[in-house]
Chains A and B, each alone.
Chain A
Amino acid sequence: MTVIMGILEEGLIYAVMALGVYITYKILDFPDLSVDSTFPLGAALTASAILAGVSPALTLILSFLAGALAGCVTGFIHVKLKVRDLLSGIIVMTGLYSLNLRIAGGRANVPIFTQETIFENPFLAEHVPAPLSPYVIVLILFLITLACKVLLDLYLNTRSGYLLRAVGDNEALVTSLAKDKGMVKIIGLALANGFTALAGSVYCQHKGFFEISVGTGTMVIGLASVIMGIQLLTPETGTSPFSSVFKKELRPTTAVIAGSVLYKACISAAISLGLEANDLKLITSILFLIILVVSTERRKKVKTHA
């Protein structure tokens, strides 16, 4: 039971970030490496802000805004300075590393165990009945993730959201609509990194500390979740296991969240097979490789069927 709860908690935290990666990778078609630094950006900002007495819930919004700003910088470098997508992300990622350290007060590790967080505060202590308390963390995470998902779904169905989807699909059409495709990309990157930093903030409050290296591999985790969720649950052609059972297509955002939980389950399974926590990044990358290879295999099969 605790294992399952652990997987759910981790999966839901990273799901918010995976939604961000879904925006860049799937919608914008932009491999954005800056998420590796905006995740710790959210964490650093949250740790410092909470220590300074800012309300934990407010840090979520602050982190989102900070991440969005960083996303704008990546977008600006790519769109206005015409640097290649991958490199723009790397530039921001590298630069933010130092900035994150500064935000954390020059320390690579900032504990906030004793502070109030969105998971531990007098309000919850007072209002949550005792039998529910083991589930309260998962519940809160679920609500946050759900809120992000619903907001993103709503946004993607607005005029602005349509434009965002269009720019990754066919840039020329956005230009035909007399809109600056560069601006649309910047908005997308801002949103994506906003979500990522928000996830970083949740992560920091959940773990009770900020640590400078928490961001390493964020993009890989996000990509793995996105590809796993989308490929397994919403294939573009043919039927997914989900659609054959429920006679309905799953929304991609839901699939991404499921993918994130699934991915954490795989990691957890790998660790329970006897691999150590030190091997985590190795497991992460190998699992990612497997997912990539399997998903291209599947795609090939779909193509030859068609």
Chain B
Amino acid sequence: MLKLNNINKYYNTGTVNEICLFEDFNLSIEEGEFVSVVGSNGSGKTSMLNIICGSIPVDSGTIYIGKENITHMPEFRRLRRIGRVYQNPAMGTCPHMTILENMALADNKGKPFNLRRGTDKKRVDSYRESLKTLGLGLEDKLHVKVGVLSGGQRQAMALLMSAMTPIEFLILDEHTAALDPKTAEVIMELTDQIVKSKHLTTIMVTHNLRYAVDYGSRLLMMHQGQAVMDKAGREKTAVKIEDLLERFNAISVECGN
């Protein structure tokens, strides 16, 4: 279980640009839940993920995984049990290393990074198999540097890499935004498959309302650092795209535009 308690987060503290993003923000996610998060640009979705992963500090409040207080745990320790795909496709892979080397790196997560061979030859076939599931032909380009791949191809690889080793949480930030509609469809299916087969607790930020409605067991709408809609279970199943659109419009009217 993941719990954010009374989170306060300011940006640019002490300057004229100071903004309060989260004020007494609370969120509790049960084990095995698949939360889709929608919300307008700048509503704080990425910031929330950053707070969970420890990429940015909070000004006050506590973060728990189960009974463990991880508020002050450094980011790299938290990411041991978290797989993360960033909004920026460049952040999930190493451009100057080959596809094979990238896969091997991801495969070694959680193992000691010692003086053993970086790429285990015996694993190559299994890398090829999992790349095949993307349907992008990457399995035939194992020795190509990732830097020459397109943003979408990299993002698809980043998803594979993030969930390659045993993890408990999967954190996805618009991981299909850079993909063409067909590939996005494939990756979304793959995501669902990974989440189900590994029983991962998942948070998926998306601007694709259909994905938010079709996938996941819970739906969160963010606005100005607050969860303005939070539906789970049967309530979530009943949500339609039109409902979300209506809510979006209502919000922008409230804001005076």
Q: Is A133 an interface residue (CB 8 A)?
A: no
Q: Which residues of A contact B104 (CB under 8 A)?
A: 162
Complex Cα distance, B113 from A155, in Å, reads 12
Complex Cα distance, B87 from A172, in Å, reads 12
Q: Which of A153-169 contact B (CB under 8 A)?
A: 155, 157-163, 165-166, 169
- Closest Cβ–Cβ distance, residue B148 to chain A (whole Å): 9
Q: Is A178 an interface residue (CB 8 A)?
A: yes
- Nearest to A158 among chain B residues (CB) is B115
Complex Cα distance, B74 from A181, in Å, reads 11
- Closest Cβ–Cβ distance, residue B96 to chain A (whole Å): 5
Q: Is A84 an interface residue (CB 8 A)?
A: no
Question: Contacts A160-B113, A162-B118 known; A173 to B76 CB distance under 8 Å?
Answer: no
- Out of B86, B96, B114, which one reaches A172, CB within 8 Å? B86
Query: Are B117 and A159 interface neighbours, CB within 8 A?
Result: yes
Q: Is A176 an interface residue (CB 8 A)?
A: yes
Question: Contacts A166-B97, A172-B91, A173-B92 known; A159 to B108 CB distance under 8 Å?
Answer: yes
Q: Which residues of B contact A178 (CB under 8 A)?
A: 76-77, 79-80, 109-110
Q: Is A175 an interface residue (CB 8 A)?
A: yes
Query: Are B105 and A177 interface neighbours, CB within 8 A?
Result: yes
Query: Are B80 and A160 interface neighbours, CB within 8 A?
Result: no
Question: Contacts A169-B95, A170-B93 known; A176 to B115 CB distance under 8 Å?
Answer: no
Q: Which residues of A contact B109 (CB under 8 A)?
A: 176-178
Q: Which residues of B contact A300 (CB under 8 A)?
A: none
Q: Is A297 an interface residue (CB 8 A)?
A: no
Question: Contacts A159-B118, A160-B113, A162-B104 known; A181 to B97 CB distance under 8 Å?
Answer: no
Q: Which of B103-153 contact A (CB under 8 A)?
A: 104-106, 108-119
Q: Which residues of A contact B86 (CB under 8 A)?
A: 172
- Nearest to A163 among chain B residues (CB) is B113
- Nearest to B108 among chain A residues (CB) is A159
Q: Is B33 an interface residue (CB 8 A)?
A: no
Question: Contacts A172-B86, A173-B105, A176-B79 known; A165 to B94 CB distance under 8 Å?
Answer: yes
Q: Is B230 an interface residue (CB 8 A)?
A: no
Interface size on A, residues (CB 8 A): 22
Complex Cα distance, B119 from A158, in Å, reads 8
Complex Cα distance, B169 from A139, in Å, reads 56
- Nearest to B84 among chain A residues (CB) is A176
Q: Is B31 an interface residue (CB 8 A)?
A: no
Q: Which residues of A contact B77 (CB under 8 A)?
A: 178
Q: Which residues of A contact B84 (CB under 8 A)?
A: 176
Q: Which residues of B contact A157 (CB under 8 A)?
A: 117-119
Query: Are A162 and B91 interface neighbours, CB within 8 A?
Result: no
Query: Are A173 and B117 interface neighbours, CB within 8 A?
Result: no
- Closest Cβ–Cβ distance, residue A30 to chain B (whole Å): 15
Query: Are B105 and A166 interface neighbours, CB within 8 A?
Result: yes
Complex Cα distance, B111 from A10, in Å, reads 42
Complex Cα distance, B74 from A115, in Å, reads 52
Query: Are A161 and B118 interface neighbours, CB within 8 A?
Result: yes
Q: Is B23 an interface residue (CB 8 A)?
A: no
Query: Are A175 and B76 interface neighbours, CB within 8 A?
Result: yes
Q: Is B101 an interface residue (CB 8 A)?
A: yes
- Nearest to A165 among chain B residues (CB) is B97
Query: Are B116 and A158 interface neighbours, CB within 8 A?
Result: yes
- Closest Cβ–Cβ distance, residue A81 to chain B (whole Å): 16
Q: Which of B178-202 contact A (CB under 8 A)?
A: none
Complex Cα distance, B50 from A172, in Å, reads 12
Complex Cα distance, B113 from A161, in Å, reads 8
Q: Which residues of B contact A160 (CB under 8 A)?
A: 113-115
Q: Which residues of B contact A176 (CB under 8 A)?
A: 79, 83-84, 92, 109, 162
Q: Is A251 an interface residue (CB 8 A)?
A: no
Query: Are B110 and A169 interface neighbours, CB within 8 A?
Result: no
Query: Are A159 and B113 interface neighbours, CB within 8 A?
Result: yes
Question: Contacts A170-B95, A176-B79, A179-B76 known; A163 to B117 CB distance under 8 Å?
Answer: no
A-B pairs, 10 with minimum CB distance: A178-B80, A162-B118, A169-B94, A159-B113, A172-B91, A158-B115, A177-B109, A175-B76, A163-B113, A160-B113
Q: Report which A residues bind B (CB closer than 8 A).
A: 155, 157-163, 165-166, 169-170, 172-181
Q: Report which B residues bind A (CB closer than 8 A).
A: 74-77, 79-80, 83-84, 86, 90-97, 101, 104-106, 108-119, 162
Further pairs besides A176-B109, A177-B109: 13, Cβ < 8 Å: A157-B119, A158-B117, A159-B111, A159-B114, A161-B118, A165-B94, A169-B95, A170-B90, A170-B94, A172-B91, A177-B108, A177-B113, A178-B79
23 A-B contact pairs sorted by A residue (CB < 8 Å):
A158-B114, A158-B116, A158-B117, A159-B108, A159-B112, A159-B114, A160-B115, A162-B101, A162-B118, A163-B105, A165-B96, A169-B94, A170-B93, A172-B86, A172-B91, A172-B92, A173-B94, A174-B76, A177-B79, A177-B109, A178-B77, A178-B79, A178-B80
